[in-house]
Amino acid sequence: MKLFSFPQASLEKAIHKRVLTLPSPHREWFTERWAQKPYKKSFIENKAMPLVTLVAKGKTWDDETFAEAMAEWDATFYDAETEVLLPLVQGDGLLQLMQKNLPPERAQALIAKINTRRDAAAAAPASLKAAEPTID
C-alpha cells in the first residue's frame, strides 16, 4: 500500500496525546511497548500510518481501490492498540479535517477491520488451547 505522506512526528504526537487519556490497563500495556523503539517503529509503519492513509485517501478512492487497500493492510490489533487508533477514525484531534468527508460506510469498515483483527487474534489462541491434549 502506498503510504500517505503524513508527517510521522505529528502522528506520534497524536498517539502520545491519546495514550494520556487511555484507561488504566491499556495505558500501562501500551506505554511499556511504546517505549521500545522496534515496537514504536513497527506500530507506526504497520498500523497507524496505513490507517491514516486509508482515512485520508478513502474519501476519494473508488470502492475497488479502497477494498484492495483494506485487503493489503494485514495487521493484528491488541485491545490497547485499538483504543489508541479508534479515535483517529472517529474524528478525534489531529485528523478531524481528513475525516470530515470520509463516507460513513468506509469509516465503519475501518473500525470493523480494527475490531475484527483484534477479535480474531484473541480467539485464535483459545481455539489452539482447546485442541491441545491435557496431561493428567
Q: What is the pLDDT of residues 45-63, one digit of tens each?
A: 889 888 888 888 887 888 8
Evaluate if residue 83 carries a pLDDT over 60. Answer: yes
pLDDT at 90: 73
**What value does the mean pLDDT take over residues 95-109?**
69
Tell which residue, 64, 66, 51, has the closest CA to residue 103: 66
Return the number of other C-beta atoms located less than 10 Å from residue 73's C-beta. Answer: 18
Evaluate if residue 86 carries a pLDDT over 80. Answer: yes
Model confidence, pTM = 0.73
